[in-house]
Amino acid sequence: MDSIIGLGKILWTLFQVIVLFNILIVVHELGHYWAAKWRGLKVEKFQIWFGKPIWKKKIKDVQWGLGWIPMGGFVALPQMAPMEMLEGKNEEKESLLPITPKDKIIVAFAGPLFSFGLAFAFALLVWGFGKPVREQLQSTVVGSVVPGMPAELAGVRPGDQILEIDGVKVLSFAGMVDSVLERIIYSEGEEIVLLIKRQGINEPVEIRCGFDKEERPAHQRQDFRRIGVTPISEAIVDMTISNSPADRAGLKSGDKILQANGQELFGRETLSFMIQKMGDDIKSIELLVLRGSEKIKVLIVPEFPTQPEGKPAMLGLQWQLPPMTIEIPGPNPFTQIWNGATAIYRTLSALMPWHDADVSVSQMSSAVGIGRYYYETLSDPVYGWRFAFVLSVLINVNLGMLNLLPLPVLDGGHITMALYEWIFKSPLNIKLMEMLQFGCALLLISFMIYVTWFDIGDLSSESEDSEPIVFSP
C-alpha cells in the first residue's frame, strides 16, 4: 500500500511539473498568436514542442498540435520571416500579402512581453503567499571553513562575517543577486578580495585569497569557482546511526552541540572537518552539548564505518534540517523581476570571452533541467508551491530575455530583421535570411542537445542509491 501511495505522489508531482512547464510555453506563444490576430496576420499553426506533431487538430484554419521534441513551441506565421526548419514547410506564403515592419515587431515582441507578464503574475503570488527562506542563508557569517581550501589558507575563520567581495556589498550567503556564493562564482582574475568583520577586531579585515575548482571529466558539468566556506548552521542532532560512536556516547535527538574541543561551532560541518584533519591518527573529541536547559560534556571517538568501504571516519550523526521560514509579504514583484533580469544579464555577460568568470554554457539548463528543478521544488510537501512560484518568476524572465537576443530563429531576430527592413525600406535578402536562420537553428538545436546531455547526466548520478552506513556492534 505504501508503495502505491509513493508512486501516486511521484506521478502527481510529475503531472504538476508538466502543467507548469507547458503553461510557460503556452502563454509565450499566445502572445504571438493574439498579436498576430490583432494585426490581421494569417496564423497557420500553433504548436507546443517541436518536431512532427504527435497530435494535431485544425480549428478555424489554424492547426493546433503537440510535437515530440520537448523544446518550447511556435506559432507559424507565413507572413513573418520563413522558419521552415523549425515550423515545417508552408505552401501558402507566396500568395499572402506582405505586412509592415511595425506589425512584425509587434508580433515578435508580444511573446517576450507575455512571458514578462506571466513572471509578474507569479511574482504577485510570491508577494502574497510569501517566499520560503533558509534562515542560515540570510546571514553572511561563515559557518565552517574547508581544510586546505583557499579560504583557510588565506586566514578566513568560522564566525567571520563577510561584508564585501571584490568591493561589492553582499547581503546573504546564497541567492541570485549580491550573495557570497554569487559574487565568488562571477569573480574575475586570480584573486578574490574579501572584506570581513571578525570578533574582537573593531575594524574590517581585508583578506585576499584564490579559488579552487573541482576537476571533472569533459562529459560532466564543469565546477564553479569556490573558496571553501559554508553558511552558519546549528548542530542539532536529528538521530544517530545504530552502533555508531554517537549512539554509544548517548547523544539524543534534539541535542545541540555548542563546542568541539573548546571551539565554538558556527557550522555543523566543522565537526567533519576536524575529523578530516586527523587523518588516520584518530583522537577523541570533547563535545559541549545543550540538552534541554542543561549543558553536558561528552567524550567521543570517531570511527570508520564497516560499510560502505572507503568511507572516512565519522561520529554517526544525522542533523536536523536548517529551519525554514516564510517571508510574508514576499519581495516586491518589481524587485523580483529586476533581480531575475540582473541574474540572467550577469550570466550572459560572464559567458562573453572578454570576461574571466569561469561560467560556461554547460552550466545552463535545458527543458530536462528545468523540469528537474520543478520536480525538486514541488516534492516539498510544505513549501513546494511557494518554491515553484519563485522558480517560475526566474524562468519566465529568462524566457523573455533570451528570446530577445538578436538571433534569426528567436523573437529578437525577427525584431532585428524588421528594423533592418524599416530603416532600409527593403527586407533582408531571402537567401541570406534562410542561411542565417538555418545556421542559427542548427546552433540552437546543438546547444539544446549539449545542455540536455549534462542534465541527463545529473539525473543519472542523482538516481544512484547510496549504500547505507553501517557500524559493527
Residues 112 and 181 in one domain: no
Considering 187, 216, 231, which residue would you say is the last residue of a domain? Answer: 231
Show which of 231, 257, 278 is a domain's final residue. Answer: 231
* Residues 181 and 287 grouped into a single domain: no
Same domain for 71 and 148, yes or no, is no
58 and 154 in a single domain? The answer is no
Kindly state whether residues 294 and 311 are assigned to the same domain: yes
User: Is the domain of 36 the same as that of 86?
Assistant: yes
Query: Dihedral (C-alpha) 375, 378, 383, 387: value to the nearest 10 degrees?
Result: 60
pLDDT per position as a tens digit, 298-343: 999 999 898 888 788 899 999 998 888 888 888 999 999 999 999 8
Is 338 a member of any domain?
no
pLDDT for 225-239, tens place per residue? 999 999 999 999 999
For residues 117 and 149, membership in a common domain is answered with no
CB environment 65-88: b (16+ within 10 A), e (fewer) = bbbeebbbbbbbbbbbbbbebbbb
Average pLDDT, the chain: 86
Q: Is residue 208 part of a domain?
A: yes
pLDDT at residue 87 in the model: 53
Band of pLDDT at residue 364, cut at 50, 70 and 90: confident
Residues spanned by the domain of 302: 237-321
* Mean pLDDT value across residues 289-300: 93
Instruction: Select from 170, 198, 231 the last residue of a domain.
Output: 231
The mean pLDDT of 101-128, rounded to a whole number, is 95
Report the number of distinct structural domains present in the chain. 3
Kindly state whether residues 141 and 50 are assigned to the same domain: no
Whether residue 213 is contained in a domain is answered as: yes
In a domain, 374, yes or no: no
Distance CA 17, CA 15 (A): 5
For residues 176 and 101, state if they share a domain.
no
* Residue 249 belongs to a domain: yes
Whether residue 219 sits in one domain with residue 169: yes
Q: Is residue 3 part of a domain?
A: no
Q: Is residue 344 part of a domain?
A: no
CATH for 257: 2.30.42.10
**pLDDT one-digit tens code per residue, 80-93:** 766 554 555 555 54
* Residue 346 counted as domain residue: no
11-25, 68-82, 262-276, 408-422: which has the minimum mean pLDDT? 68-82
Quote the pTM value. 0.85
The residues facing 297 across adjacent strands are 288
Average pLDDT, stretch 233-260? 93
> Are 19 and 87 contained in the same domain?
yes
Answer yes or no: is pLDDT of 115 > 90: yes
Same domain for 288 and 304, yes or no, is yes
* d(C-alpha 327, C-alpha 336), whole Å: 13
Over residues 135-156, the mean pLDDT reads 92
pLDDT at 396: 95
What's the pLDDT band for 125 if we cut at 50, 70, 90?
very high
Q: Which residue has the higher pLDDT, 271 or 96?
A: 271
Q: Which three cell numbers stand for residue 171?
A: 547581503
Of all residues in the chain, the percent with pLDDT exceeding 90 is 45
Q: What's the N-to-C CA distance of the chain in angstroms?
A: 33
